[in-house]
Structure 1
Amino acid sequence: MKRIGLILLAALVGGASAIGAYKLLERGNDGLSLTEKQNVLFASNPIKISSAGTVDFVQAAAAVSPAVVHIRTTFNSSTSESQGSPMDLMEQFFGGGGRGMRSRAPRAASGSGVILTPDGYIVTNNHVVENSQKIEVILSDRRKVTAKVIGTDPNTDLALIKVDATNLPVVKMGNSDNVQVGEWVLAVGFPLDLQTTVTAGIVSAKARKIGILDRQQEFTEEQQEEYRRTGKISKLPASNSIESYIQTDAAINPGNSGGALVNANGELVGINAAIASETGRNEGYGFAIPVNLAKKILEDFRKYGAVKRGYIGVSFQPLDADRASELNVKDNSGLYVSDVPAGGAAAAAGIKAGDIIKKVEGVEIYDSPDLQEKVGRLSPGDKLQLTISRDGVLKNIDLTLRGESSVGLAKVVPAGKATGASIGKLGASFAPASPALKAKYGVKSGVVVTNVESGKVFDGLDIPKGMIITSINGKPVNSAKDVEAALPTSRNGMTTVTGVGPNGNYSFTF
């Protein structure tokens, strides 16, 4: 009897502690991080679903589906033409493209999101909410609530939004490092504007880079000229984007963007972001952002409204047999350091051009995602150990990551970045259009509009980012320098800009 009384007392104490912790969380204690809030939520209610033996996803689907939401966004006309809906984006990257008529009426798009806390923090993709005028979230109980953006990051395609609601269902964040190739996973979201949909598949690869975040980055004019003359480029452009996707054959379609990829235990291991397909629909593989990378990015959004990213400060090339032969090095794996800008963390730690990065924190690396994801989880001031090979000798180097403002960091600067007062008045920056892009639209000249500033000329004319400017004042343009030179040639004080985009040819006079 005494023993039973002790058991009941222990149960009451444990239950009271859990309830007290939840009530503390429910009151919106912003001193807790998103991860800490999750730890409190699931401390007394762990999901215990075995993924061994008979495959059964019923409980996992039931645990996750209520916390995956439908996101509907509204865009103005110019944004719609340059960005499109999440569905258009997937078609654009994987075999389709914007196919609408030019219209000034607002356009709607849809995607998915995952609730992380009962007070309404929701993770989704940047491309789902970027440049949206209005964001509506449809909850599992069919309520429709308006969301505000807390932070967005194009370099990882992640966004954090917030709705004013309480007692919302939550998905438990798992550990994407523990995900194994061959493991069963579920994709949960709102594909093709359908209601909550669950599909199953396996993890077919990890640390996959598909180049979707780098597509708009072009070589500089000088690099293109160097390639024409020599067939090589001495300094490849570095990229700030981080792609280290979990690849799965679970069916993912447009509308799944921002939805959940969960393991058989119902734990969130990835945020669905893209598909590889010839048609823009599921017929190949889906790709999800690892949750361990997302955790850091989302916490930065919540604290600062932006990402505080740490940088090593190197440009590198992944090695394979062919690249090793070109560079005349013996290693067939690792990252060959091609440049170490002054003022960066790598330069301060003594890393040199020609070194080969073999390990990060003792773990062997083979390709850029192996390094970029691990660095992407860290902040300026964090320590990192790299193992390098120099002249065939392995050496451990400890360095301290530096912030984006550090001198000499290997970061992307858009080709043809706008300079000078004349371009400044346009409120736009430009990059040379690639030969493939020119061929696609049947033009012989062109620069891509890479950015449009609010309140300036291009913005007022509804000239969208992504449009190709083929000529200014009748003069063909292929670089920012060409744009600068063509602007003063206007007659009667009027400037004419001619361009082409997915919806046809355009001409603007101002």
Structure 2
Amino acid sequence: MKKILTLVLVSALGGVFTLGAYKLFLEKEQSVVVTTADTKPAFLPASNVSNAFINSNETPDFTLAAENTVNAVVHVKNVTLSSGQMTLEDLFSGRRSQRAQVGTGSGVIINADGYIITNNHVINNAQELSVTLNNNKTYNAELVGTDPKTDIALLKIDADEDLPFVTFADSDSAKIGEWVLAVGNPFNLTSTVTAGIISAKARDLSGTSAQSFIQTDAAVNPGNSGGALVNTNGELVGINTAISSQTGSYIGYSFAVPSNIARKVIEDLMEYGNVQNGILGIQGGGLNSEFAKHKGIDDTEGVYVDSVVEDSGADKAGIQKGDIIKEIDNIKISKFSDLTGHLSAKRPDDIVNLKLSRDGSIKMVSVTLARNETFRLPLVGRIKNTTPKDLKKYKANHGVKIIELSPQYADYWKNNGIDKGNIITSINDIKVNSVDDVQNILKNKSNTESLRIELINSNGEKERYYFR
């Protein structure tokens, strides 16, 4: 029995020594890899710039902008009177009933004294105006002035305390893709805030290059008109004015008057009572492939100068037909609304610096903006203020000069001996000395009143024309 146990023990020990020798001298070394459950996969950036990772947990913080804005955005109520449907009683009494209609919008307080900026269409034809603050206090509002061209209006309320207000940002410095907030009172809700980005700048909705809106995708609905478009610091970038929609509701496109234009308009209204417009003195259009091909040029960006207004700032600075405006005050000009948008924030006697392309070479020109001395008179064409030389030629002591006939009626005028350079001396039996006189006469003219024009033709003869 002892022999058997000894044999088993020796066999076991031999196996242990054999296995140990194999492990120690013959088997190759292998490393052990340990994985954990929280190991994150590696992600490659879409950018080719190293370390261009974006932390998905970091999002824009709009709380400061909202806090700085909501108490400075107000609700504006506009009461107008309109003629109701005629009744038998009205018919027999010879009168027409009037009924009140209420319109609403938004406004932005711009200083502690109670000046409020809004849209002209919000308060148009108002018989009564009232403003409700974010704290639910309501005040009667006074209309200080309006500018239908930019759709800006200025109101004033007398509060018993200093009011919170929004400061202006430089809208020229706002960038496409920048986050913005739209703050207003749609549907009579106080201080509604929506977020989006600036989608485009210098948008023209009229097709005449007369507008220069900031486009944003922040949700804007009826009632937001006149409200604030602010950056992430809560500074005013624009005044929300319009939406692009086939249904009347927001579908992704909204437009704001840039703050630089709005600020200039309300400063003019406060100081002068009207808007001071400085003009460059050119006529032309934005370039594109088709227009460039038609003109026989290679440039497809900029504003092509088709003509220069006589005695204007552009004329005095030496700008010529065929010049291409590439920049104004270091701002790139791609289309005509880029140019008009910048000029809308300028006044007469302001100086702007232009970069021009002329016959393939670049020129820098400084232009002193002039007061607007041209106007498009319906049925006739473009007119401008006269010079002593113009009046002497026709032996006149007052009048305005025709500088371009309306294309639609040019043949009619020429067949009657009327052409460019002739002098209009009166409209509706009122003597005219300037373009401002003409504008005031037309502004005060009723829709049913005929248009009566007295002018001196190319032969120096006075003629009168009646239009109904």
Q: TM-score, normalised by structure 1?
A: 0.60
On the 8 A contact 2:218/2:252 being kept in 1, the answer is no
2:299: which partner in 1? 331
2:108: which partner in 1? 114
2:309: which partner in 1? 341
Greater CA drift, 256-265 or 177-186: 177-186
- In 2, distance between residues paired with 1:372 and 1:70? 31
Q: 2:180 aligns with which of 182, 185, 188?
A: 185
1:265 maps to 2:270: no
On the 8 A contact 2:186/2:224 being kept in 1, the answer is yes
1:315: which partner in 2? 283
2:76: which partner in 1? 71
1:364 maps to 2:369: no
CA gap of 1:375–1:422, structure 2 versus 1, over 3 A, is closer
1:33: which partner in 2? none
1:283 maps to 2:251: yes
Q: CA deviation at 1:54?
A: 2.8
On the 8 A contact 2:307/2:321 being kept in 1, the answer is yes
1:211: which partner in 2? 206
- In 2, distance between residues paired with 1:286 and 1:119? 30
CA offsets, 1:69-108, max 9 Å, x none? Answer: 0111122327x99xxxxxxxxxxxxxxxxxxxx9732322
Equivalent position SS for 1:269 = strand
CA gap of 1:412–1:155, structure 2 versus 1, over 3 A, is farther
CA offsets, 1:429-456, max 9 Å, x none? Answer: xxxxxxxxxxxxxxxxxxxxx97637x5
Q: CA deviation at 1:183?
A: 1.7
Larger Rg: 2
CA gap of 1:299–1:107, structure 2 versus 1, over 3 A, is same
Equivalent position SS for 1:277 = coil
Greater CA drift, 58-67 or 259-268: 58-67
CA gap of 1:69–1:415, structure 2 versus 1, over 3 A, is farther
Gaps of 5+ in 1: 1-51, 82-101, 215-238, 426-449, 460-482, 488-510
CA gap of 1:393–1:297, structure 2 versus 1, over 3 A, is same
Aligned pairs for 1:400-419 within 5 A:
400-405=368-373, 409=374, 411-415=375-379
- In 2, distance between residues paired with 1:125 and 1:422? 32
- In 2, distance between residues paired with 1:342 and 1:265? 45
CA gap of 1:60–1:190, structure 2 versus 1, over 3 A, is same
Equivalent position SS for 2:145 = strand
Q: Which amino acid aligns with 1:352?
A: Q
CA gap of 1:135–1:402, structure 2 versus 1, over 3 A, is same
Equivalent position SS for 1:105 = strand
Q: Which amino acid aligns with 1:135?
A: L
Higher relative contact order (CA 8 A, sep 6+): 1
Q: CA deviation at 1:415?
A: 4.9
- In 1, distance between residues paired with 2:177 and 2:447? 53
On the 8 A contact 1:146/1:163 being kept in 2, the answer is yes
On the 8 A contact 2:306/2:322 being kept in 1, the answer is yes
On the 8 A contact 2:139/2:157 being kept in 1, the answer is yes
1:127: which partner in 2? 121
Aligned pairs for 1:126-145 within 5 A:
126-145=120-139
2:191: which partner in 1? 196
Q: Which amino acid aligns with 1:377?
A: A
Q: CA deviation at 1:413?
A: 3.9
1:432: which partner in 2? none
Aligned pairs for 1:447-462 within 5 A:
453=444, 458=448
Q: CA deviation at 1:373?
A: 2.0
Q: 1:384 aligns with which of 342, 345, 352?
A: 352
Gaps of 5+ in 2: 1-56, 86-95, 382-423, 431-440, 450-464
Aligned pairs for 1:23-38 within 5 A:
none
Q: Which amino acid aligns with 1:453?
A: N
Equivalent position SS for 1:77 = strand
Q: Which amino acid aligns with 2:76?
A: I
Counting aligned pairs with the same residue, the percent is 44
Greater CA drift, 325-334 or 65-74: 325-334
Q: CA deviation at 1:421?
A: 9.5
1:226: which partner in 2? none
Aligned pairs for 1:468-479 within 5 A:
none
Q: CA deviation at 1:249?
A: 0.7
CA offsets, 1:179-237, max 9 Å, x none? Answer: 2222211111011333321111111112222217x5xxxxxxxxxxxxxxxxxxxxxxx
Q: TM-score, normalised by structure 2?
A: 0.66
Q: Which amino acid aligns with 2:144?
A: I
Q: 2:64 aligns with which of 51, 59, 67?
A: 59
- In 2, distance between residues paired with 1:103 and 1:253? 32
Q: Greater helix percent: which structure? A: 1
On the 8 A contact 2:82/2:98 being kept in 1, the answer is yes
Equivalent position SS for 2:279 = coil
- In 1, distance between residues paired with 2:97 and 2:291? 48
On the 8 A contact 1:205/1:248 being kept in 2, the answer is yes
CA gap of 1:205–1:415, structure 2 versus 1, over 3 A, is farther
Q: CA deviation at 1:385?
A: 1.4
CA gap of 1:398–1:254, structure 2 versus 1, over 3 A, is same
Equivalent position SS for 2:233 = coil
Equivalent position SS for 2:141 = strand
On the 8 A contact 1:199/1:250 being kept in 2, the answer is yes
Q: CA deviation at 1:381?
A: 0.9
CA offsets, 1:460-481, max 9 Å, x none? Answer: xxxxxxxxxxxxxxxxxxxxxx
- In 1, distance between residues paired with 2:429 and 2:190? 46
